[in-house]
Structure 1
Amino acid sequence: MTAVTAHAGTTAEPGGADGSAAPASAAVPYPVTDLADVPALGGLYVKGVAGSVTKRPGRGVVLPPVTYRVADVATTGGAAQLAAYQRVVGEPSSDVLPAGFLHVLAFPLATAVMVRPDFPLGLLGMVHLRNVVRVPRPVRLGERLEIRAWAENARPHRRGVQVDMIAEVLAGGELAYRGVSTYLAKGFRVDDAGAGHQERVPAPWAQPLPTARWRLGKGIGPRYAAVSGDRNPIHMSVLGARALGFPRAIAHGMYTAARALAEVGPARRGDAYEWSVEFFQPVLLPGSVDVAIRHPAPGDAGYVFDGWRTGRPSRHFSGTVTPL
């Protein structure tokens, strides 16, 4: 399935067709392992759950020094999936792949890194804390892509260890998407070398005036799973959620983030933008979420968004969308 290539992490990709320099992020920090195809999430979850049994909390977390890459991913045949994704999250019909869809394309590769035998943290019970995404140029249906992913920056958290999973998408040799997904592995510990890291402390939050209300039925989990491939049991049914400690199924965090991005809309975010989201309390299904999307300050071109449980000051997520 895989072939190992001796790519040095400091080797830059060629410049663009106009002779401009390639983005600095064209370099990768670790040697590259090429995969023939983007792996299916279902098999990765099975492997990750089985492997979690052997990954016990301890000190000295060392991340695998490897970059997974699929060098040639065709998007020509993805029109039906893109259209279905757009309907589910509320994106307008377009041949431009929004950042949430690019996350969907790259997520299996990052998951493949996390289920490696030498990845020290168990996939089972991993908590998704936040995403920070940069889209420096649009990606259109029909472009051929390079996708790559690796893990970095294991550091302390008051409840365990947090780690960043990096996923990048290149189109025509140019960086078109870079996503940093931060996860928490509860109960694990890093050694003293990580003691200098400062844990992120959320800013104080006051409930804003809502601009929308989402009424989410229990079917939104399976619907988003159908377009994303993410069939984690906690999103699919009450029984699957209860097996992992939730009273009911919960919405995919990336569904709520992608829907907020869609409500900002392509015209307001532009072709190039940054998108961040931080997750707090999960959204139980069925449920109702109040959402506020607004400018952070008068005259500011960017947007901030928040989602919280209707009728209660229980925040689910907060984020930003900033045109570049």
Structure 2
Amino acid sequence: MPITHTRELDSTPNLTMLFGKAVLTGFSKHGDSLPSTVYSRDGVVVDPAHLSAYNKVCGFRLTDELPITYPHILSFPLQVKLMTDADFPFPLVGSVHLANRITQLQPLRADAPIRLRVHVEDLRAHPKGHQFDMVTEAFVAGNLVWQSVSTYLRRNGSSGSSSTGPELITRQPRAIWHIPDDIGRRYADVAGDRNPIHLHPLTAKLFGFPRAIAHGMWTKARCLAAFEGRLPEAYTVEVRFKTPVLLPSKAAFATTHTADTWTFDLFNARTTKPHLTGTITPP
């Protein structure tokens, strides 16, 4: 898909207004091509209080370096703006986050102004609908230092889980995490992602879930927090989201280290169904 034009933003898009727009107008959307727009914002400065709140809810330590998942939060308003534009072919509400890959080329410090760019690409068929990639890039002093690719599914037909019976996890967990029923609301307060499937059982049921579910990017961040102190300055971490983490929940976390690669799984501690599988490799 050719990228034809860039729209520079001088402020952070208002997520409250954008989510309201998504609810009011999004369900009438339909189309067969992705927009060529690139949204960009320069001079993004990290708020120390916001970073501290993010670290706390995800389990990271408080340091001057940004967690590898934090730029996703900074860029999320730009992503939502793109996905709620009139020329975006799919509704925001009901889109399923299938996978996310982040590459960090060097650590990002909290005091370094960041330039963010987002665009979408690679619309393709999926057995349950269509999928596409949301690409986000972060630059410091003109140099690309961070990139994320999030793959989303827009289902044909009813919403809900995209799982088709994943294999059970058989290896022994290194930890058991008790995930509280309010983690969706707490993460939403920090991340701004107020998708109704994460906030309350009643709103989650409207989209086919028996209870509210945890954000996929919270589960990824929580897993990476367990690796703190063991990872290099530059690496790629890729996860595939399997089954939702229903709230509250008891989840098991397992890891394996071979040569320069980590693999990890988060799965239901009772049924052993996987919530996500991931790998950490050199960039």
The TM-score normalised by the length of structure 1 is 0.81
Residue 111 (structure 1) aligned with residue 80 (structure 2): yes
Which residue in 1 is equivalent to 2:274?
315
Which residue in 2 is equivalent to 1:47?
21
User: Secondary structure of 1:289's partner?
Assistant: strand
Note the C-alpha offset of 1:208.
1.4
Residue 294 (structure 1) aligned with residue 268 (structure 2): no
Name structure 2 gaps, 5 residues minimum.
Answer: 158-163
Greater alpha carbon shift after TM alignment, 236-245 vs 165-174? 236-245
Please give the per-residue CA displacement for 1:230-288, whole angstroms capped at 9, x wherever unaligned: 122211111221222211111111111001111111x2212111111110110000111
Residue 69 (structure 1) aligned with residue 40 (structure 2): yes
Do the aligned residues in 2 keep the contact of 1:269 with 1:322 (CA within 8 Å)? no
Note the C-alpha offset of 1:66.
0.9
Note the C-alpha offset of 1:50.
2.2
Which residue in 2 is equivalent to 1:154?
123
Note the C-alpha offset of 1:206.
4.4
What's the % identity of the aligned pairs?
38
Do the aligned residues in 2 keep the contact of 1:107 with 1:167 (CA within 8 Å)? no
User: Secondary structure of 2:149's partner?
Assistant: strand
Residue 186 (structure 1) aligned with residue 160 (structure 2): no
Structure 1 residues 246, 203: closer, same or farther in 2, change over 3 A? closer
Note the C-alpha offset of 1:178.
0.5
Residue 101 (structure 1) aligned with residue 70 (structure 2): yes
Which residue in 2 is equivalent to 1:17?
none
220, 236, 241: which one aligns with 1:279: 241
The separation in 1 between residues aligned to 2:189 and 2:268, in whole angstroms, is 25
User: Secondary structure of 2:230's partner?
Assistant: helix
Tell me the amino acid that sits aligned with residue 44 of structure 2: V
Bigger Cα Rg = 1
Which residue in 1 is equivalent to 2:161?
none
Please give the per-residue CA displacement for 1:123-160, whole angstroms capped at 9, x wherever unaligned: 12100000011110111111111111001000000000
The separation in 2 between residues aligned to 1:204 and 1:301, in whole angstroms, is 25
Tell me the amino acid that sits aligned with residue 317 of structure 1: L
The separation in 2 between residues aligned to 1:205 and 1:156, in whole angstroms, is 27
The separation in 2 between residues aligned to 1:204 and 1:243, in whole angstroms, is 27
User: Secondary structure of 1:99's partner?
Assistant: coil
Which residue in 2 is equivalent to 1:12?
none
Name structure 1 gaps, 5 residues minimum.
Answer: 1-8, 10-27, 189-200
Note the C-alpha offset of 1:205.
6.3
The TM-score normalised by the length of structure 2 is 0.92
| Within-5 A mapping of 1:74-223 | 74-75=45-46, 78-187=47-156, 206-223=169-186
| Backbone CA RMSD of aligned residues | 2.0
Would you tell me which structure has more strand in proportion to its own residues?
2
Residue 249 (structure 1) aligned with residue 249 (structure 2): no
Please give the per-residue CA displacement for 1:173-214, whole angstroms capped at 9, x wherever unaligned: 1112110000001118xxxxxxxxxxxx99966421101111
Tell me the amino acid that sits aligned with residue 29 of structure 2: K
Tell me the amino acid that sits aligned with residue 291 of structure 1: F
Note the C-alpha offset of 1:55.
1.4
User: Secondary structure of 1:258's partner?
Assistant: helix
The separation in 1 between residues aligned to 2:252 and 2:81, in whole angstroms, is 35
The separation in 1 between residues aligned to 2:113 and 2:165, in whole angstroms, is 38
256, 260, 270: which one aligns with 2:223: 260
217, 225, 232: which one aligns with 1:270: 232
